[in-house]
Amino acid sequence: MGENMARRRDRDFDDWRRDFFDDIFEDFDDEIKRMNERMYRIFEDMKKHEGDSQGEPYVYGFTYRLGPDGKPSFQEFGNVLPHTGRLPAGEEYGIREPITDLTEDKENVYVTFELPGVSKDKIDLKVDDKMLTIDVNEDSRKYHKEVPFQSEVNPDSVSAKFVNGILDITLKKKKETGRAGKKVSIQ
């Protein structure tokens, strides 16, 4: 009798463990499958349009990080439209999207760009309270990216540091004024 109970207990624990880990990694597995399917479609379409790129390389990739809510977050980059595998219509060949990392805390927004082989004086950086735009026009490398912010920032607070092909940007968030409003005296 004790042996049957032990087997049942072990089986119940194995079922619980399997369910527990399936739940945790289900979102991650689904996201990886979608990315794999998307990349497969891109490569298949690239094969069909092999002569269209005028010798420019196709660049497509993604970065992965665990979001603040504990769920996986993927960010795509490159010069290829994710669903078609082709360069966007009207885009100049050779312009790439740099690998970008965007994080924030209570007071600041941090943006990091990887720009290998680029000189500091070739970087054109523009920022307003809702978006940052980077353009790089180096002889052999061209980059462009627009990074929208989830929180409004103070454009006057921007600081940028460029070392060994890595551009780190810090912006202060605008202070929330709250919704209390202003007290109005009635006359």
84 and 9 housed in the same domain: yes
Among 50, 66, 94, where does a domain finish?
94
**170 versus 93: which is more confidently predicted?**
170
Range of the domain at 57: 1-94
**126 versus 33: which is more confidently predicted?**
126
Contact predicate 169/158, CB 8 Å: yes
Among 73, 94, 115, where does a domain finish?
94
4 and 81 housed in the same domain: yes
Q: What is the mean pLDDT of the chain?
A: 75
Number of domains in the chain: 2
Q: How far is CA 85 from CA 17, 101, 141, 178, in A?
A: 40, 23, 21, 45
In the structure, what pLDDT confidence band is assigned to residue 89 with cuts at 50, 70 and 90? Answer: very low
Amino acid at 185: S
pLDDT over 90 (residue 7): no
Half-sphere exposure of 137 (CA within 13 A, CB side): 4
Q: Which of 110, 119, 170, 166 is nearest to 142 (CA)?
A: 119
pLDDT over 60 (residue 125): yes
What is the domain-level CATH number for residue 170?
A: 2.60.40.790
DSSP letter for each residue of 47-101 = HHTGGGGTTPPP-EEEEEEE-TTSSEEEEEEESS-TTTSSPPTTPPTTEEPPEEE
What is the rounded average pLDDT of the residues 117-137?
A: 91
1 and 90 housed in the same domain: yes
Q: Which of 97, 144, 106 is nearest to 124 (CA)?
A: 144
Give strand pairing partners of 65: 73
**156 versus 7: which is more confidently predicted?**
156
Instruction: State pLDDT tens for residues 97-115.
Output: 888 888 888 899 999 999 9
Among 46, 67, 94, where does a domain finish?
94
85 and 113 housed in the same domain: no
